[in-house]
Structure 1
Amino acid sequence: MARIPIADMFSLTDKTAIITGATQPLAAEMSRAMAEAGADIVAIISPWDPPEEELEELIRLTGRSLRVYRADVGNIPALRACFSNIWKESVEPDILLNFSTINQRGTVEEMTDDSIDLIFAVNLKGAYVAAQEFGSRLLHLRRPGKIINFASLTAHLPMTHVSAYAAAKAGVVQMTRAMSNDYSKTAMTSSLTNTYPEMDQYITGRTPAGRWATSYDFRGVIVFLSTPASDFITGTTIVVDGGLMDAWGW
């Protein structure tokens, strides 16, 4: 194997990253980090996502390009059509960041069929189909790439009023493991604390770092997972939680 200089191992120069939910605050900061590392950004924005103006400014400052596509990630025909349009415009993909997410909190009894369907469609089925479309394109182009799926601590820790969301995100974790086996042969906080202020003390009191994660805490791990530095990592879950899960004995 040829030796890659360490600076190049952490570079995304001339790479293209497709990011679902890219204008959501956390995803926007990760998009910016990937652009700062050299990647051009292709954003898929759903109707509930913030507008793209702030993301456009963030990417413009890095000198990289941004293309914006619109599709409801939970509407599978629309999502597939969106990827078809991306491929028709000759985008050559290198990285997929499956970030798009939506949640509706409530007790088990309060969750309606519509809420359950929406949460599963966006967080699990939409992520599956995006990875499927991306992976199929890489295979067609005979091109290597990276798929990074964004889950949640609710996939690992028992929390209240998030049963459907937790089930969907746990599915994302197992989906990542299973997909990695196939492909290796050929990765919302402020509204929660505003609505449930008791959660702030509950979480920070149990987190060794003594605070919630910020968008800046995810920049390094996303760049790492996107670059050649992580080429021998596959199907694993990397937890960015300030020590919360270890403190709970997980």
Structure 2
Amino acid sequence: MGLQGKVALVTGAAQGIGRAIALRLAQEGASVVIEDRVANDRARETLAQVQATGARACLVEGDVAQVDAVRRVMTEAVAQMGRVDILVNNAGVERRAGFLDVTEADYDLVLDVNLKGVFFLTQAFARHVRDRGDGGRIVNISSVHEELPFPHFASYCASKGGVKMLMRDLSVELAPLGITINNIAPGAIKTPINAQLMSDPALMAALKRNIPLQRLGSPEEVAGAVAFLCGDDAGYMTGSTLFVDGGLLWNYAEQ
């Protein structure tokens, strides 16, 4: 219960890694603001699961690709919970296309959600912390592709590379406010976004050959790393990326 008395805002929390993070932070004692683009059945299921742990929780909707919506998300989170101590920028999208075929619409979607949304929600959070005056924690769910090339996903790689450098810059800019900021870079994780991959034995076999631990990770393993970065043991960590990838980054070869 290392986060007792803290309030965490988790974006993209309706399923997958976001849901696992919301649940783990609740189990650690935090109150949780569950954010997703729309308050759909999956988001409400996350809310019910978090509340079942005994944690205080609320649901806030908003499209993180829109700056006005991002600011409303923070305002509503503070209005409902009184404050926000922890921001987890988890919401993200990807679009597959060869570089020569990428459309402006797909590029804008990926960069707006994955980078612009992180930028401006972090800004709104930092302003809240500045006005409150007692520090906070930011964890961005990045990807191994902040470092690792991923052919046919150029916009996704650009967004995650941007999140990496944004985190490093803000670790300097936000330190005087008592705010730490770090990234977690998952590799291949068992989430709905990888459902097609997991249903194809040949693709799974090829992927596992590139992962030294020979398996996909779980959302709960990513959530555990988030809980660590939000807790007292990580109080002196800022500007770092934790890789949760089974060794994939250091053993990857295109097939």
* Distance in 1 separating the partners of 2:218 and 2:175: 32
Give a deviation string over 1:34-81, Cα, whole Å, max 9, x none: 100000101221149763232123212210011111101101112112
Match of 2:185 in 1: none
Match of 2:59 in 1: 68
Matched, 1:223 2:227: yes
SS in 1 for 2:138: strand
Give a deviation string over 1:69-119, Cα, whole Å, max 9, x none: 110110111211222233344621110000011111111122111110010
Matches within 5 A, 1:101-180: 101-180=92-171
Which of 193, 196, 209 lines up with 1:194 in the alignment?
196
Question: Residue 191 of structure 1 aligns to which amino acid in structure 2?
Answer: I
* Distance in 1 separating the partners of 2:120 and 2:42: 23
* Distance in 2 separating the partners of 1:96 and 1:195: 30
From the superposition, tell whether residues 170 and 190 of structure 1 become closer, same or farther in structure 2 (CA, over 3 Å): same
Question: Residue 237 of structure 2 aligns to which amino acid in structure 1?
Answer: I
* Distance in 2 separating the partners of 1:26 and 1:58: 14
Match of 1:80 in 2: 71
Contact kept? 2:47, 2:59, Cα under 8 Å: no
Aligned residues: 240
Matched, 1:237 2:241: yes
Identity of aligned residues (%): 25
* Distance in 2 separating the partners of 1:128 and 1:14: 26
Structure 1 runs not aligned, ≥5 long:
1-9
Match of 1:6 in 2: none
* Distance in 2 separating the partners of 1:158 and 1:165: 10
Structure 2 runs not aligned, ≥5 long:
183-188
Matched, 1:97 2:97: no
Shift in Å, 1:143? 1.7
* Distance in 1 separating the partners of 2:144 and 2:133: 34
SS in 1 for 2:243: coil
* Distance in 1 separating the partners of 2:154 and 2:39: 21
Match of 1:205 in 2: 209
Contact kept? 2:5, 2:30, Cα under 8 Å: yes
* Distance in 2 separating the partners of 1:50 and 1:221: 27
* Structure with greater strand percent: 2
Contact kept? 2:34, 2:47, Cα under 8 Å: no
* Distance in 1 separating the partners of 2:64 and 2:145: 21
From the superposition, tell whether residues 101 and 48 of structure 1 become closer, same or farther in structure 2 (CA, over 3 Å): farther
Match of 1:3 in 2: none
* Distance in 2 separating the partners of 1:50 and 1:154: 30
Contact kept? 2:64, 2:117, Cα under 8 Å: yes
After TM superposition, the score normalised by the length of structure 2 is 0.87
Question: Residue 119 of structure 2 aligns to which amino acid in structure 1?
Answer: Y
Matched, 1:33 2:35: no
